[in-house]
A and B are shown apart, each in its own frame.
Chain A
Amino acid sequence: GGGAPGMEYVMGIKGKDFAMACVSATAVQQIITMKHDEDKVMRVDDHRMLVTSGEPGDRVQFGEFVCANVRLRNMRHGVKTSTKAVASYARQELAKALRQGPYQSNLLVMGYDEGKGPSMYYLDYLATMHEMNVAGYGYGSWFVLSMYDNLWHPDLTQDEALGLMQKGIDEVRRRLSVAPSSYMITVVDKDGIRHLKTLEYGS
């Protein structure tokens, strides 16, 4: 078996003209932390990313599966598949697999579309999809979602969002007994996908 559900920390925020994700960067097997710098963000194309969490094998396999098929479609048709279409496609594949061999992976599909702006889609392992401004997975989200409900506003800037992410991490580290020890923050906006910060704590 792999990742215990809930132990990973994933939070996503959609701001005025960007979408930002903060994900725990630990790769854990049973009681061992194998890695402190696991990047759980998969780049579909320059302006779309999948933030993946859950069972490690499924997480990577499904993420790569979606990325590969979307890129193939982009090549075949000479288009850039929109964020919503990427999310819908991923949802369909999860739904097909649900009653056969489900992927135990929760995702946030985030992207920036020209003309439309940023968007973020919650997509859980059951293939439930919903567009949201603030979303997350795991035990950490129990603490942080309500905090962000209070602090979020539609004109959030990247600096403000970064501050929110830091507040979220601080809260989780203070109150969640199984809080992860490292985190990666990534943002997508009109200029593309950028890794902003990796935060490693001693314990």
Chain B
Amino acid sequence: GEAMSIQTYNGAAIIAMSGQECVAIASDLRFGVQNQTLACDHKKVYRMHDRLYMGLSGLATDAQTLYKRFVFKHNLYRLREERDMRPQTFASMVSATLYEKRFGPYFVEPVIAGLDPEEGHAPFIAGMDSLGAMETAKDFMCAGTNSESLLGVCETFYRPGLGPEELFEVISQCMLSGVDRDALAGWGAVVYVISKDQCIARTLKGRMD
């Protein structure tokens, strides 16, 4: 194959969006190695607890390693604190964990979506680069091999104050259109819509190319 570029070795697309008392987070399902597609059921969104999900784009092995590390850290937190982590707290922890490896980083770009239990389950969305430089957003956050195309389509279709069903429609359309311009992402998508009392996961059928 060609020279290996670490950030595009596997391929991914992640979008998180906030709505009215709900958030949604979606990822594509492709598992590939450079130009070869190996599977179309590889989710890149991970559940931390009922109201906190994290998407990890970038190198798949680092995403898997980091997910296990964060489950470990969150489990210890829950034992000590007897409560789940707030999304803000978790995002800070992710940022710190990535920066620890400043001169030999994990090749991932996380996107975090959750509901803050201390602010009336207010939506929380954040994203960061592979060194942990974090930004929060009120509307949406994108990451992946072609994040520009995701940003463009989100900017166009997003409206504030969407309910769970409308949010699902908007984020789904953005994901399906966005990945069509990315050779390394797509092959279906999974969407999680998180509200105060439930989380609905749906799998989207998209173009399998």
Q: Which of these binds chain B: A25-33, A49-57, A125-133?
A: A125-133
**Residues of chain B in range 40-66 having any CB-CB distance to chain A below 8 Å:** 42, 59-61, 64-65
Q: Does A116 contact B (CB under 8 A)?
A: no
A98-B61 in contact given A124-B33, A128-B10 (Cβ < 8 Å): yes
Distance in angstroms between the alpha carbons of A95 and B10 in the assembled complex:
16
Q: Does B104 contact A (CB under 8 A)?
A: yes
Question: Measured between C-beta atoms, what is the minimum distance from B177 to chain A in Å?
Answer: 26
Q: Does A142 contact B (CB under 8 A)?
A: yes
**Interface size class for chain B?**
10 to 19
Q: Does A122 contact B (CB under 8 A)?
A: yes
The listed residue (B31, B33, B61) touching A95 by CB distance below 8 A is: B61
**Interface size class for chain A?**
10 to 19
Distance in angstroms between the alpha carbons of A130 and B39 in the assembled complex:
8
Residue of B nearest to A99 (CB): B104
Distance in angstroms between the alpha carbons of A138 and B185 in the assembled complex:
22
Tell me which residues across on chain A come within 8 A of B79, comparing CB atoms: none
Q: Does A156 contact B (CB under 8 A)?
A: no
Distance in angstroms between the alpha carbons of A132 and B104 in the assembled complex:
31
Pair A130/B42 contact, Cβ less than 8 Å: yes
Binary contact track A74-112/B, C-beta < 8 Å → 1, others 0: 000000000000000001000100110000000000000
Q: Does B5 contact A (CB under 8 A)?
A: no
Binary contact track A11-53/B, C-beta < 8 Å → 1, others 0: 0000000000000000000000000000000000000000000
Q: Does A135 contact B (CB under 8 A)?
A: yes
Pair B38/A145 contact, Cβ less than 8 Å: yes
Distance in angstroms between the alpha carbons of A91 and B36 in the assembled complex:
21
Tell me which residues across on chain B come within 8 A of A128, comparing CB atoms: 10, 60-61, 64
Question: Measured between C-beta atoms, what is the minimum distance from A13 to chain B in Å?
Answer: 14
Tell me which residues across on chain B come within 8 A of A129, comparing CB atoms: 64
Question: Measured between C-beta atoms, what is the minimum distance from B27 to chain A in Å?
Answer: 14
The listed residue (A98, A99, A130, A145) touching B31 by CB distance below 8 A is: A130
A132-B39 in contact given A98-B61, A126-B59, A126-B61 (Cβ < 8 Å): yes
A-B contacts besides A122-B39, A124-B33, 8 pairs, CB < 8 Å: A91-B64, A98-B61, A126-B59, A126-B61, A128-B10, A128-B61, A130-B31, A130-B39
Q: Can you list 26 residue pairs at the A/B interface with Cβ under 8 Å?
A: A91-B64, A95-B61, A95-B64, A95-B65, A99-B104, A122-B38, A122-B39, A124-B61, A126-B59, A126-B60, A127-B61, A127-B64, A127-B65, A128-B10, A128-B60, A128-B61, A129-B64, A130-B31, A130-B38, A130-B39, A130-B42, A132-B38, A132-B39, A141-B36, A142-B36, A145-B38
